[in-house]
Chain A
């Protein structure tokens, strides 16, 4: 038994050595680009406790854990993948989590200024979509605008070209073609979020084009990006019967976004505005009775300061005090067959502290105040349960958690 154990240990060590599994630090030390093949393991995640001050109830959850595996095949082709488990558990319980591939793509270098990605990847739309590691944003939750207006993290299958022309230092661009959305799954109150395929048997008969332009100037980062794609990948006969426009860009959805970020001497500021347009929302509602709006809008601005800068130049730790204001309207404009709900006009103030004792670990405490319009009773439960909670337009929450990335 003892011999078997020793043999298994030796076998494991041998296999690991052969597979060249390295941490990021190891890969740097070994000069990943100079020595050829390498496999890298990495990951990130976050845990959160939420307390509802109005209802006096709390919830604790392992929000997400993501395992990253990357492999360099040669000096031109690299494999990236991220597998995400949300809420710790899938199956075996009523309130289940989700296991999904967040990304899985090949990156192919064309030259030093351009590369292609192909597979399941996250197009450059907004801030959080690409930069969603919990140690990089303030607050336990991602901004609401970048959850319901820009449905981060929004990944689809396709091919993208990324570049940074040398003649324009600081300028970056991206253009990508990905599969489109599914208008049949749009849900009122969640924007276009439920229409994403996320690599799960997407219809490829409708596609989307996304593009972005990004420019660094001194301590500023400016970005604009857009998305235009079809949301009806049905066979023509089926689309015709539902009176929906089919084809590559049939029943179109477009999204536009602009953002600015600033970082200097402990100060950080970012602002983002975005709008989603669904010009054929009338047809979508006629086909699916989903009360889809014609336009969705949202914006936010956040200011933060690293308190460790008080009395110190270039501190190693980070204790950021921040405040963010968000406003979004998930039924900004409705077609004639849509029903207005003022509850979808939402405002949030999020304020709190993020403490990073070192790179890669973040402890977070924040307070969230939310204000909504009054809800439209005709849209919700006709015969309420006896235990239904009363509706309040003003609510507040306290979140405590931590995030990590390595």
Chain B
């Protein structure tokens, strides 16, 4: 490789890295969904109600499940829990404040777990979710 090409390619690479860093910083500045790590005891995951003080969606994570669970606070004050696993081919889903999306094949789901875009054809797995003494209990078994 000639010196001129080397300098040109190096500059391009640096520019690419710089642009990527700026893009990542910009994206990080977007409101992120909080992640709450917890343990399931006797098949029940618990998330404190206070986690929803400033948001309507929290990702609950436990090592006892292979996928995270999106916990959604509904307008009527009840809660819904959805397993973040695409019902099409079990890919992990991306959650945003407006729904859940599968980056692999394009399926999307609303915050009730219903399919809004194929190829998925069945709703997401949801768990019974009950508020008990300031804890949101998610029954995963």
A: residues with CB less than 8 A from B are: 24-25, 28, 31-34, 44, 70, 75, 78, 80, 109, 112-113, 115, 124, 127, 130-131, 133, 135-136, 162, 164, 166-172, 213-219, 221, 263, 314, 356, 358-360, 405-406
Number of interface residues of B (CB under 8 A): 41
The reply to whether B68 and A112 form a contact with Cβ atoms under 8 Å apart is yes
Contact A130-B105, Cβ < 8 Å, known A33-B90, A112-B67, A216-B94: yes
Residues of A within 8 A of B116 (CB): 263
Closest chain A residue to B98 by CB distance?
A: A218
B: residues with CB less than 8 A from A are: 23-24, 27-28, 30, 32-33, 35, 59, 61, 65-68, 85, 87-90, 92, 94-96, 98, 101, 103-106, 108, 114-122, 125, 141
Residues of B within 8 A of A70 (CB): 89
The reply to whether B33 and A406 form a contact with Cβ atoms under 8 Å apart is no
Nearest CB in chain A: distance from B7 CB, A: 19
Residues of B within 8 A of A135 (CB): 118-119
Residues of B within 8 A of A75 (CB): 66
The reply to whether A167 and B85 form a contact with Cβ atoms under 8 Å apart is no
Residues of A within 8 A of B24 (CB): 168
The reply to whether A169 and B33 form a contact with Cβ atoms under 8 Å apart is yes
* 9 closest residue pairs by CB, A with B: A359-B121, A131-B106, A172-B103, A33-B66, A133-B119, A360-B121, A168-B27, A169-B33, A170-B96
Residues of B within 8 A of A359 (CB): 115, 118, 120-122
The reply to whether A136 and B119 form a contact with Cβ atoms under 8 Å apart is yes
The reply to whether A167 and B32 form a contact with Cβ atoms under 8 Å apart is yes
Cross-interface CB contact of A215 among B27, B61, B67, B89, cutoff 8 Å: B27
| Cα-based distance from A221 to B101 in the complex (angstroms) | 10
| Cα-based distance from A262 to B122 in the complex (angstroms) | 22
The reply to whether A168 and B28 form a contact with Cβ atoms under 8 Å apart is yes
Residues of B within 8 A of A214 (CB): 103
Counting chain B CB atoms within 10 Å of each CB, which of A75, A135, A216 scores highest? A216
Closest chain B residue to A44 by CB distance?
A: B119
The reply to whether A218 and B121 form a contact with Cβ atoms under 8 Å apart is no
| Cα-based distance from A358 to B122 in the complex (angstroms) | 11
Residues of A within 8 A of B118 (CB): 133, 135-136, 356, 359-360, 405
Closest chain B residue to A113 by CB distance?
A: B92
Cross-interface CB contact of A164 among B65, B103, B141, cutoff 8 Å: B103
Residues of B within 8 A of A34 (CB): 65-66, 141
| Cα-based distance from A358 to B120 in the complex (angstroms) | 12
Nearest CB in chain B: distance from A3 CB, A: 41
| Cα-based distance from A172 to B65 in the complex (angstroms) | 22
